[in-house]
Amino acid sequence: MKKIAFLFLLSFLVMSCEKEEKLPPNPAWLNTMISQLENSQLPVIVIYAYKWNEKYYYHVQNLILSCAYCDMYDYAGVRVTWTDDEFTDFVNNGKLIKAVWEKRY
């Protein structure tokens, strides 16, 4: 249920995005991941950048499969594990900046 709510709220954040914010350069780990995903068999993948609590996060989402294949990473490349309070605050206060990369067939 939490994953469904997360997807719904991420979609809401996408629609309510305000002015475009300038992102820092992609971290090296993200560029490596993008290179790997370009050669993967997964058909539709999007990486979204978010800002929350003055920090940047990257949401890697496979749009064909369920969100079991979705991951959120901080700028350092550490996979985020949310507490309920953090998740709620992220959903309420996180800002979608833009899709930084996508692969579509």
Please give the model's pTM, rounded to 2 decimal places.
0.76
Burial of 19 (0-12, 13-18, 19+ CB in 10 A): exposed
pLDDT, tens digit, 9 for 90 and up, residues 52-84: 999 999 999 987 766 655 899 999 999 999 999
pLDDT, tens digit, 9 for 90 and up, residues 4-33: 445 444 555 555 555 567 889 999 999 999
Alpha-carbon separation of residue 23 from 40, 44, 50, 67, 78 (angstroms)? 26, 23, 9, 25, 18
